[in-house]
Structure 1
Amino acid sequence: MKGIVSKVALGVAGTGMAVAVAAVAIGPRVSSWYDERHQEQSAYETGEQAKNDRRSMPGWLPDNASSVKYVMSTTGDDRLLVATLPEGRLPTGCAIGVPGRASHPVPASLKAGWFPQDVAAKATGTCGHYSVALHGNRLYAWQDGAAVQAAHRAEHSARR
Structure 2
Amino acid sequence: MKGIVSKVALGVAGTGMAVAVAVVAIGPRVSEWYDGRHQQQSSYETGSQAKAGGRSMPSWLPDDASSVKYLMSTKGDDRLLRATLSEGRLPAGCTTGLPGKGPHPVPVSLKAGWFPESIATKATGSCGHYNVTLTGNQLYAWQDGATLQAALRAEHVAKR
Report if aligned partners of 1:47, 1:66 keep a CA contact under 8 Å in 2.
yes
8 A Cα contact 1:103 1:147, kept in partner: no
Deviation at 1:23, TM superposition (A): 5.1
Report the counterpart of residue 65 of structure 2 in structure 1: 65
1:76 corresponds to 2:109: no
Q: Which residue of 1 aligns with 2:113?
A: 113
Match of 1:137 in 2: 137
Identity of aligned residues (%): 71
Decide whether the 8 Å contact of 1:101 with 1:120 is kept in 2: no
Structure 2 residue aligned with 1:102: 104
Aligned pair count? Answer: 146
Question: Do the aligned residues in 1 keep the contact of 2:79 with 2:142 (CA within 8 Å)?
Answer: yes
Structure 2 stretches lacking a partner, 5+ long: 1-12
Contact 1:83 1:140 in 2 (8 A): yes
Match of 1:47 in 2: 47
In structure 2, give the amino acid aligned to 1:94: C
Task: List structure 1 segments (4+ residues) > 4 angstroms apart after TM superposition.
Answer: 17-25
Letter in 1 for 2:128: G
Q: Secondary structure at the match of 2:117?
A: coil
Distance 2:147 2:21 in 1: 36
Change over 3 Å in CA distance of 1:25–1:46 after alignment to 2:
same
**More moved, 148-157 vs 45-54:** 148-157
SS in 2 for 1:105: coil
Q: TM-score, normalised by structure 2?
A: 0.81
Supply the AA of the counterpart residue of 2:106. Answer: H
RMSD after superposition: 2.3
Task: Quote the Cα distance in structure 1 between the aligned partners of 2:116 and 2:67.
Answer: 16
Does the Cα contact within 8 Å between 2:105 and 2:120 map onto a contact in 1? no
